Chains A and B, each alone.
Chain A
Amino acid sequence: MNARSSLAVRMARVDKAFGPVLATKSASLEVQLGEIHALVGENGAGKSTLMRILGGLIAPDAGRVEVFGREVTGWTTRAAIQAGVGVVHQHFMLVRPLTVAENVVLGQEPKRFGLFDKAAARRAVAELIERTGLRVPVDRPVSELSVGGAQRVEILKTLYRGAKLLVLDEPTAVLSPVEVRELWGVLRSLQSGGATVVLITHKLDEVMEISSRVTVMRRGETIVSIATRETSPTELARAMVGRAVALASQQRQAEPVKQKGSALEVRDLLVAGARRARAVDSVSLTVAPGEILGVAGVEGNGQTELVEAIAGLRPASFGSIRLGGREVATFSVRERIAAGFSHIPEDRQRRGLVLDYSVAENLVLGLQERFCRHGILDRRAIAERARRLVAEFDIRPADAQAPARALSGGNQQKVVIAREMGRDFQVLLAAQPTRGVDVGAIEFIHGRLREARAAGKTILLVSADLNEVLALSDRIAVMYGGRLVALLPRAEATVEILGAQMTGAGRKEAA
């Protein structure tokens, strides 16, 4: 009885089926009051399902859920909020033109004479910010905040509603190292204020750093629940995937392979963005064949515009882009593909895939010309290619006719990778190639990138994940405010140096 009453969450033998698939089977989770509990697992392991059940978004088919010692199985979101459960989703649910204060109180606005009392809202939110240390300007519209700022607003929202149990779904995916550290600070101070935190994450170093307990899920089942100090990243990775995994940080890159091939040269590139006239500001870089140049940086510092300009999706106002000495800046997207460009776009669901097209159709997107005769699609060749790539890249389900929409994020990304790397290419622009995919898929994608490098391909890697950049790159550039503020050989780069450059602390110009 005593042990039980110290539990914030107790979920036991929880089953939840979606169609014919069990998303969780007999899953369990026990979270002590006042602890920071990490919930880890691959995509589709059932973490999110479990948290959606906890938050009242869906009801379990079987099992028992207790929150703060009270049985609440199958409750509603409203009841969950009232009981003090606050969920911060991966995708922010904020009204961008409204101010921070307005967003925080939305749905529970203070009223005076039946009308919205803006002054009271400001006061309440300012007081909350003061108390929690979640620093955001109260009167600023959310649209003007950084991603980290928006996330703090989401957390404030749940706290405003009286959350004592905070569930954070992959909160660090969009943050810079500095912002991550700030978030940890906030979580620790909430913890010392008596709050309980459940943190869903992919990143094992975060688990080690912040959590006191960790629960690993795999294929809907709870594999292990253990005190964090009694385990290691390697052990956790094995529990997540079900076999030994080479963690990115443990791998050493081989020496650069000098190969013949085409170098990518970008000179004085100037690109206008949606918000800034100089989203990319006089960027020059050269990537040699057999080399991976990693571009690190907090998102929104021009990386997107840089890659899109090189790929031909965004006009460059000035500058030159050469592939093997040939000027391609005036080429259309199609001509650049023909010239040997491959591009893994950062947003696969918007750019990289037509979600309602089948896997087979998506595997020829951008290569339509090669898969038709006299303008008529060569369906046999398309099916043949799909069969080959689905097998080679282990895309699941192995049904090339399934719409891309029906695939998990990791498998969608494999479709993109298969299309872009399963053909002859000279240069690969890889933007956030492993975003939102699970450990196993990350390992697979990294392996593919290394193979391409060994085969003499020219690779420009853009990633917000410093570990990824460090694990793969021969040289590392840092982008800040549209400029390349640093360019280092891998051997000289450390998380500390890069982290400082990413926030504009060092102002050393790129070579």
Chain B
Amino acid sequence: MLRFDQVSKRYPSGFEALNQVSFTLETGAMAFLTGHSGAGKSTLLKLVALIERATSGQIFVDGQNLARTHSWQIPYLRRKIGIIFQNHRLLFDRTVFDNVALPLVIAGHPHNEVGRRVRAALDKVGLLNKERLYPITLSGGEQQRVGIARAVVNKPGLLLADEPTGNLDPDLSREIMGLFDQFNQVGVTVLVASHDLELIRALDHPVITLEQGRLRQVRDSLAS
């Protein structure tokens, strides 16, 4: 599903965020991406969603070579990827339902299908009764779950999460990680960037560790 081949990223400022990173994430697998802040976790995720482009090396998402992906193709690539942000990036001027519906509206799904799928996604994250509320009235954990519902509503094959539990207490964090585990069990490929090692230890998944832009180790025999 996701393959990095000798990928480097140097920002225009000269900062080298990633250096010769190679790994493979098989379809249906789940892995954690860890390392200190500034190690390149966010940059790696940005490269996958083509928010940034790699300076050298090749990245394949679902067999698609990102280096050969034109900018007009980027929206269609992103529809295949669900992205979850640390600060969830919900739109506060619309309801929970409308936030979760946005990817479907963007992809042009018919109206009745949008309603059905939004409720299914909200049901999965346990927020079915809050669809009419505005995000501002929800707790931090609930807001993050709305963000997850928005990421999965389009049934993406690949789920990326950037520090999804960064602002949450340990109980809520476990709950959120449990959700990712559930999605993985129904076949979604999941890559979660997190520096919460305690949380990662509790779950039995491969761990990719970055250090100053280099791949330091891949624990638990990530097939490659």
A and B: partners?
Answer: no
Chain A positions within 8 Å of B, measured between CB atoms, are none
B interface, CB within 8 angstroms of A: none
